[in-house]
Structure 1
Amino acid sequence: MYGFIWRHLPGPRPVKILLALLLLAAVFLLLMEIVYPWVSTLMPYNDVSV
Structure 2
Amino acid sequence: MYAALWRILPGPVVVKLLILLALIAAVLYVLFAFAFPWVQTLIPVPDATLDE
Q: Which band: TM-score by shorter chain?
A: 0.7 to 0.9
Q: Percent of aligned pairs with the same residue?
A: 50
Alpha-carbon distance between aligned partners in 2 of 1:32 and 1:8, rounded to the nearest angstrom: 27
Q: CA deviation digits over 1:3-49, x for unaligned, max 9?
A: 1111111111110000000000001101000100000000011388x
Q: Which has the higher contact order (CA 8 A, sep 6+)?
A: 1
Q: TM-score, normalised by structure 1?
A: 0.84
- Name stretches of at least 5 consecutive residues in structure 2 with no aligned partner: none
- Name stretches of at least 5 consecutive residues in structure 1 with no aligned partner: none
Report how many aligned residue pairs link the two structures: 48
Q: TM-score, normalised by structure 2?
A: 0.81
Regions of 4+ moved over 4 Å: none
